[in-house]
C-alpha cells in the first residue's frame, strides 16, 4: 500500500486567503489587474483545499500485476471578492496539480 498526496499550487495567481486566489483580467483597460473574482477548489466533501499545502489523496495498492485506482472529484468555484466590484472581461486560471507518493 502506497499513500498518495495531492497539492494544488497557485501558479501565477496571488493568494487572497489560504483557500482563495485572485483572478485577473486578460483584456481591456483593467488588463493584468484583479477583476473582483476569486477562485477556490473544493474536494468531494465540500471542504476548501489550502493552496500550496499537501493533502491526503488516499492509498493505492500495487500487486504483481500493477493495479490500483484512487479517484477523487474536485470542483473549481468562482466567487466575488468580498467588498470588491466585479470587472467585466475575460480571465483564465491555470494552477499546477501535483500528485506524490511516499
How far CA 46 is from CA of 17, 76, 78, 80, in Å, comes to: 17, 11, 14, 18
100 closest CA partner among 64, 62, 55, 61: 55
Convert the pLDDT of each residue in 3-55 to its tens digit. Answer: 999 999 999 999 888 999 999 999 988 898 999 999 999 999 999 999 999 99
The domain 2-101 belongs to what CATH superfamily? Fimbrial-type adhesion domain (2.60.40.1090)
Task: Look up the pTM and report it.
Answer: 0.85
- The pLDDT value given to residue 70: 82
- End-to-end CA gap in the chain: 10
CB-based contact 24:34 (threshold 8 Å): yes
Amino acid at each position: 500500500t502506497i499513500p498518495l498526496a495531492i497539492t494544488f499550487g497557485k501558479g501565477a495567481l496571488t493568494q487572497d486567503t489560504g483557500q482563495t486566489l485572485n483572478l485577473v483580467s486578460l483584456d481591456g483597460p483593467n488588463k493584468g489587474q484583479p477583476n473582483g473574482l476569486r477562485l477556490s477548489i473544493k474536494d468531494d466533501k465540500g471542504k476548501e483545499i489550502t493552496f500550496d499545502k499537501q493533502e491526503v489523496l488516499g492509498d493505492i495498492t500495487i500487486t504483481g500485476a500493477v493495479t490500483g485506482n484512487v479517484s477523487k472529484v474536485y470542483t473549481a468555484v468562482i466567487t466575488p471578492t468580498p467588498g470588491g466590484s466585479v470587472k467585466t472581461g475575460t480571465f483564465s486560471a491555470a494552477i499546477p496539480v501535483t500528485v506524490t507518493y511516499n
